[in-house]
Amino acid sequence: SIPSKGTYAHYMQKEIYEQPEIIEAALKDRLDVESGKIDFQGLGQHMDRIRTCSKISFIACGSSYYACLAMQELFETLTNVTVSIDIASSFLDKLSHISADVAYVFVSQSGETAECLTALQYCQKRGGFTIGIVNVVDSSIARLTHCGLYINAGVEIGVATTKAYTSQLVHLVLLALALGAGNDSTHDRRREITKGLQRLPEQMRRILTLDSSIKELCETKLMHKANMLVLGRGYQYATALEASLKIKEVAYIHCEAVLTGELKHGVLALVDDNFSVVMIATRDRSFERSLNGYEQLLSHGGDPIILCQEGETAFNISNGHCIEVLETVDCLQSVLNIIPLQLMSYWLGVLRNNSVDFPRHVAKSVTVE
Ligand code: G6P
């Protein structure tokens, strides 16, 4: 049955607001904070097999692919396994070699995306071991994979995914933690992440209070733009890609995600005082290098909106073009940073009178290749 919108104007808005409680419930269900133990029910029995695989190969489309991209580095640091990620259509185009000692992990909200299903059948026909990370219960990917994990984000109606994306991120973090369990060399890192997870729902609630200021930013600065750039690097490159997809599909604004370090390799030519740039620059290992990108933008007349840590003083921002978010562990920061950008795409869609829940030309579940 279709859930009600309640007091919200759109499903997308409701789903953005549901995120803290969904993450809270997922953590309560799966994570014992004291011991750090993770309960994956069915998938739990397969952890040893995944740990001994020579590689984990993530396969997904759209936002689900960006969720994998956001967590690739974390899997590489917490497990001793090589990680690859592929967009399902490209995995098929490449005629990828399938090996029995690789874990093929299919990440999909709907569990029905055509290319994912074709890639899944391609793997299984060649003896591949397949795992599903899906939201929709009993969907094709959930049924056809050897084992898997539900992200339990609840029914998502808005075509532009929001709550399923953050649930995917958190479940991927949990999976990386579970695969890394028992590894002494990463004990402190895993402990830090576990503590960070615990604080996430409350931090997400606080970030949602930015809503009216983001709406205002959209009204005063962004709604009439024809082009935008979203910059990010390190863990935040995936956030930039996901935000730019949201802005395209909900706001119908041409929006490109650029790796901050690549700005000087051509993209800078686009920048003038009419070109809107959102730069994600929360403090992590690549922060200092993000500052170079900031300087490059300023010196060419750019007037970027900065998404940064609360109380950040590194930017000379007097015009209020700054979105301040709370700080968490680097690999979890994406869960917080995407929220104001979801709100930005939502308000841009509303202000431009678009059909935000059901954008033109796109489908929630793409069942044709
Ligand atoms: C469609 C949706 C996207 C989604 C992608 C993958 O294009 O509009 O929001 O990310 O499919 O969907 P999946 O259900 O496999 O996550």
The closest-lying atom of ligand 1 relative to the alpha carbon of residue 60 is 15
What pLDDT does 318 receive?
65
Closest C-alpha to 108, from 167, 51, 54, 56: 167
The closest-lying atom of ligand 1 relative to the alpha carbon of residue 136 is 14
What pLDDT does 319 receive?
64
Q: Which residues of the chain have pLDDT under 70?
A: 318-320
- Give dist(CA 117, CA 134) in Å, integer: 12
Question: Is there an atom of ligand 1 within 6 Å of 110 CB?
Answer: yes
> Ligand 1 centroid to 159 CA: how many Å?
8
Q: Is 350 helix (H, G, I), strand (E, B) or coil?
A: helix
What pLDDT does 353 receive?
96
Question: Is there an atom of ligand 1 within 6 Å of 139 CB?
Answer: no
Contact at 8 Å (CB) between 149 and 175? Answer: yes
Contact at 8 Å (CB) between 304 and 232? Answer: no
- Give dist(CA 19, CA 207) in Å, integer: 11
Hunting for tokens 């869609």 — which residue is that? 349
**Choice from 15, 63, 112 to test ligand 1 binding pocket (greatest atom count within 8 A of CB):** 63
What pLDDT does 77 receive?
94
Phi and psi angles of residue 194, each rounded to the nearest 5 degrees, phi first: -60, -45
Question: Is there an atom of ligand 1 within 6 Å of 113 CB?
Answer: yes
pLDDT tens figures, 294-322: 998 888 888 899 999 999 989 877 666 89
Interface predicted TM-score (ipTM) of this complex, two decimals: 0.93
Q: How far apart are the first and last CA of the chain?
A: 28
What pLDDT does 112 receive?
96
* SS3 assignment for 295-311: HHHHHCCCCCEEEEECC
Report residue 268 CA to chain centroid gap.
26
- Give dist(CA 47, CA 44) in Å, integer: 6
- Please name the residue whose Cα sits nearest to atom 2 of ligand 1: 364
Which amino acid makes up residue 321? H
**Choice from 11, 15, 64 to test ligand 1 binding pocket (greatest atom count within 8 A of CB):** 64
Contact at 8 Å (CB) between 149 and 169? Answer: no
What pLDDT does 320 receive?
62
The closest-lying atom of ligand 1 relative to the alpha carbon of residue 66 is 10
- Give dist(CA 355, CA 274) in Å, integer: 26
Contact at 8 Å (CB) between 220 and 274? Answer: no
Hunting for tokens 């690789």 — which residue is that? 102
Residue 152's region, left for phi above 0, alpha for psi from -120 to 50, else beta, is left
Half-sphere exposure of 139 (CA within 13 A, CB side): 26
- Please name the residue whose Cα sits nearest to atom 8 of ligand 1: 364
> Ligand 1 centroid to 362 CA: how many Å?
9
- Give dist(CA 325, CA 112) in Å, integer: 34
Question: Is there an atom of ligand 1 within 6 Å of 296 CB?
Answer: no
What pLDDT does 275 receive?
83
What pLDDT does 131 receive?
98
> Ligand 1 centroid to 108 CA: how many Å?
7
